[in-house]
Amino acid sequence: MTDTVQAPLVGLVMGSRSDWETMQHAAARLEALGISHEVRVVSAHRTPDVLFDYAATAAARGLRAIIAGAGGAAHLPGMLAAKTAVPVLGVPVQSKALNGMDSLLSIVQMPAGVPVATFAIGNAGAINSALFAAAMLAADHADVAAALDAFRTRQTADVAGSDDPRQ
Ligand code: RP5
């Protein structure tokens, strides 16, 4: 998989390759909205120095949001937020042992002063993190605003066009 050609506006990171099954849904949505992004595995536990470097250089590299997916003892979003002022959007990956409740609570319960915007467990959270990043970028990027608006219009039309669940 290749990063988009433009300098990335969004960093999409995850704690393990095993998170890709979930986080690919965020990547697909960013792609569909035409948002330049990069994708990396950055583990809070296994590669802490990479995590620190990623966070420390994020703003200077032009990232405007970091979507971070992790499961279990999900320290990645919080540790990124501790090292950068770039907004961090945390996606709790559904764990096998506790169905993602561990991931959710690890990400959402940040102490006051170091915020992480936390999304739903699993695919819905991954998709919504990308849509939220788009909304954040929309004010300064007319192309993203237009793409997001078109997506919302299509979504509304899809529901309105199939309001009988038997069909
Ligand atoms: C976390 O541990 C990762 O985010 C992943 O969700 C979980 C399991 O990782 P693997 O053992 O599959 O690499 O750090």
In this structure, which residue's CA is closest to atom 14 in ligand 1? Answer: 15
In a domain, 2, yes or no: no
In a domain, 35, yes or no: yes
Q: How many domains does the chain have?
A: 1
In a domain, 92, yes or no: yes
In a domain, 167, yes or no: no
- pLDDT at residue 4 is higher than 60: no
In a domain, 49, yes or no: yes
Residue 163: what pLDDT? 77
State which residues form the domain around 80.
10-159
Q: What is the mean pLDDT of the chain?
A: 95
Q: Give residue 66's pLDDT band: very low, low, confident or very high (50, 70, 90).
A: very high
Q: How many CB atoms are closer than 10 A to CB 13?
A: 26
48 CB-near residues (< 8 Å, 6+ apart): 79
pLDDT tens digits for range 74-124: 999 999 999 999 999 999 999 999 999 999 999 999 999 999 999 999 999
Q: Is 15 in the pocket of ligand 1 (CB under 6 A)?
A: yes
Residue 2: what pLDDT? 52
Coil vs helix vs strand at 35: coil
11 CB-near residues (< 8 Å, 6+ apart): 37, 38, 40, 54, 58, 63, 65, 66, 67, 86
In a domain, 164, yes or no: no
Beta-strand runs (E) in 24-150? 37-41, 65-71, 88-93, 117-118
Q: In the chain, pLDDT over 90 holds for what percent of residues?
A: 90
58 alpha carbon – ligand 1 mean position (Å): 23
The CATH number linked to 127 is 3.40.50.1970
Query: In angstroms, rounded to a whole number, what is the distance separating the alpha carbons of residues 137 and 159?
Result: 26
- Which is nearest to 103 in space by CA: 121, 123, 127? 121
